[in-house]
Amino acid sequence: DAKTTQPNSMESNEEEPVHLPCNHSTISGTDYIHWYRQLPSQGPEYVIHGLTSNVNNRMASLAIAEDRKSSTLILHRATLRDAAVYYCILRVVNTGNQFYFGTGTSLTVIP
């Protein structure tokens, strides 16, 4: 059973904000929410992660719902280089920090 669900694809115009949603209704109190992205012909790379509070870094922001059953990755100004598959992942601490991947959202950025 998938631990995270995401839309298969989304589109955004260049230089506009993008909100990528993720549902993780079975999350437990100690599970972390991670986001990775995969550019063409590369392995996934870290974007951001959080536990309960919203998080910001130079790449993106992560907004976590109060009940933690959903989260949103926010790219503040999409660029063509942000076109990738974005994975929302649960890191389950009590299984040794194992990652549980969803099928990802393919983001297309339109010039």
Binding interface with other proteins (CB under 8 A): 32, 34, 36, 41-46, 49, 87, 91, 93, 96-99, 101-104
Q: What is the DSSP string of 24-62?
A: -TT--TT-EEEEEEE-TTS--EEEEEESSS-EE-SS-EE
In terms of CB distance, is 81 or 111 closer to other proteins? 81
Question: What's the min distance (Å) between Cβ of 26 and other proteins?
Answer: 16
Tokens 């904000």 correspond to 17
What's the rounded Cα separation, in Å, for the pair 2 and 88?
11
Q: Which residues contact 27 (CB under 8 A, 6 or more apart)?
A: 3, 33, 68, 69, 90
What's the rounded Cα separation, in Å, for the pair 79 and 70?
25
In terms of CB distance, is 13 or 57 closer to other proteins? 57
Question: What's the min distance (Å) between Cβ of 104 and other proteins?
Answer: 6
Question: What's the min distance (Å) between Cβ of 25 and other proteins?
Answer: 18
In terms of CB distance, is 72 or 103 closer to other proteins? 103
In terms of CB distance, is 64 or 87 closer to other proteins? 87
